[in-house]
Structure 1
Amino acid sequence: MIKIFRTNYPFYYDVKKAAIISVLVFILSTGFSYAFEPFEVNYKELKYSYLITSVIHSIVSLIVFMFSVILLTLFRDKKRDWQVYNEFSFLVIVLILIGIGQFLIRDLIYLKEDNWSFRYLFEEIRNTLLVGSLLMFIITSINIERLKSIYRNRSKLLNLDLNKDVNSNETISIKTKVKIDDFNLTMNDFIYAKSDKNYVEIFTVGGKMIKRMSIKSLEDQLEMFDYIFRSHRSFLINLNKIQKVKGNTQGYKLSLISCEDEILVSRGMIAKFEEELRKLKK
């Protein structure tokens, strides 16, 4: 279970995508409430028809969700990967806020004098969590398996294109922040580089070097080589050293020659990675 919750998960919550999701949530929640009536309804207490009441509840859900997404995009740490537990935690908070929102509009839709009791606050939050959590778990689980299937199938096609016979004996002089630490890099030996704060770990066939420089500086100095690719904000890789491409929910993980670590391809770089790999193997 811990492994599942630590699985990387696509971050969907930019405002444009959130607007689309909000419309879907509005349609699904209205349809679900109206079709199944998951909780007992006393029609005599309603100011409007049950359909209109369901629509009002769904509008509240839409507004709360959009407001939560805007706050999330403003304050989320973009340097950290979004994982399944982040997804669940965010959605649980959203459901609690929706429950509070449903409580605050009770006077608008119910003909009752005690709408502001703590009992109704608890009921609104509880009911929202019960229904929302069920839908959240089902949708998220299906989406995880859908994404795995998509990227596994695409990774199989990419693996067919891998060619390990491409070599380059060219050596290039690399400049660091400390002149005496400058070094020569033989491109055929270079496997990948990993950012580590103010340093870069450079992995080669002969071992590992740690240099005081940014990974962006290294990338710029190697830009003339079309097989050098920035797969992730923390990784710069030699496409010729890819041994296997694996698909996961976020996209791809790469196994490189003479390398125990699996290298990530960030979601935003997937299309570019596929394009560069296919271009290189033509």
Structure 2
Amino acid sequence: MPFIFNRPHPFIFNSGSILIPGIFTFLLILLFRPLGFNSLPLNYVVAFALGFGLIASTVVWFTVKILKFIAPKWMDEDSWTLGKEVLLIFTVLVFIVLTIFFIFFGINVTEHGPWELFKMVFIKTLLFSAFPILFMVLFEQYNYQRKQLKEAEKLNQKVKAENGDLDVIHSITAENGQLILQLKTNEILWAQSDGNYLELFYLNEAKEIKKELIRNRLKNLAELLPNDTFFHCHKSFLINLHQVQKVQGNARNFEVILRYGNSPIPVARSKSSELKQKISRTI
């Protein structure tokens, strides 16, 4: 079970993410009339349905904005998982339940005590929301994964051997300017950040992968190398686009496989469009 919740999941927050919960709430109240709405005239039900639909959309927007402000690392889109998505949805539902509870309690529309009213609102909200939410989460995962695979396949059709200026010599220096290595374009594979250091992976003359630990930041290395060939695809990775063998997609973002590397390298969601453009220009 923990493995399932650790699966990558797309973080989708757009106008649909705000409108759909409101529309669903409106239809739910109008069609099923829970929480005692069946005793009210139709015009009152429509008014309540519109009001609670607006509340649901507002709560979704407010919850995501607040969490991004107080917990930006936890809300990082590139590390979003199915477990985080479920927890976010549950948090939104709790806020909706509390909002409905305080409204009902404030206008005193039921004869229930506070605790009984809260339990009724909480249980009925979860019961009516469980199936639609499960459907939406699974659909999001399936639909986004399908789109990513299609995009990855398009990129793979463009990825091929490049015979351009691969013999250009690049000087790799430390943060203090000390020369560490001099490598040709096709010898540099990728670099990975490691705190105040970076690990540079490159090929020696025997085509063996070597690693050099350099006291420098990945951002500084990216500025040293030509950005039409080397791509800062993720906050922790810089790759040589000429070494890309395959692009693959998961439910969250793209990953690249390099010719001399077995482990996939992540591409930040914010860098996906740039990856497509750069691969098109590089080949």
Q: Same fold (TM over 0.5)?
A: yes
The one-letter amino acid paired with 2:188 is F
Report the Cα offset of residue 137 of structure 1.
Answer: 1.6
Superposed counterparts of 1:130-141, under 5 Å: 130-141=127-138
The one-letter amino acid paired with 2:251 is T
TM-score (norm 2): 0.87
Tell me: CA distance 1:68–1:215, structure 2 relative to 1, closer, same or farther (3 Å).
same
Secondary structure at 2:186 match in 1: coil
Q: Does 1:21 align with 2:17?
A: yes
Q: Does 1:57 align with 2:52?
A: yes
The one-letter amino acid paired with 2:275 is F
Find the aligned partners of 1:42 and 1:90 in 2 and give their Cα distance: 28
Report the Cα offset of residue 69 of structure 1.
Answer: 1.8
Find the aligned partners of 1:123 and 1:169 in 2 and give their Cα distance: 71
Report the Cα offset of residue 102 of structure 1.
Answer: 0.7
Tell me: CA distance 1:213–1:45, structure 2 relative to 1, closer, same or farther (3 Å).
same
Secondary structure at 1:150 match in 2: helix
Superposed counterparts of 1:65-214, under 5 Å: 65-78=60-73, 80=76, 81-107=79-105, 111-114=109-112, 116-166=113-163, 168-180=166-178, 182-205=180-203, 206-214=209-217
The answer as to whether partners of 1:46 and 1:109 remain within 8 angstroms in 2 is no
Report the Cα offset of residue 251 of structure 1.
Answer: 2.8
Secondary structure at 2:72 match in 1: coil
The answer as to whether partners of 1:181 and 1:211 remain within 8 angstroms in 2 is no
Unaligned runs of 5+ residues in structure 1 are none
Find the aligned partners of 1:42 and 1:235 in 2 and give their Cα distance: 55
Report the Cα offset of residue 58 of structure 1.
Answer: 2.0
Q: Which residue of 1 aligns with 2:31?
A: 35
Report the Cα offset of residue 54 of structure 1.
Answer: 2.1
Find the aligned partners of 2:162 and 2:150 in 1 and give their Cα distance: 24
Report the Cα offset of residue 62 of structure 1.
Answer: 2.3
The answer as to whether partners of 2:105 and 2:114 remain within 8 angstroms in 1 is no
Deviations 1:91-137 (A, max 9, x none): 101101111111101146663344x4201111112222233332222
Find the aligned partners of 2:39 and 2:264 in 1 and give their Cα distance: 61
In the alignment of these two chains, the number of paired residues is 274
Q: Which residue of 2 aligns with 1:235?
A: 237
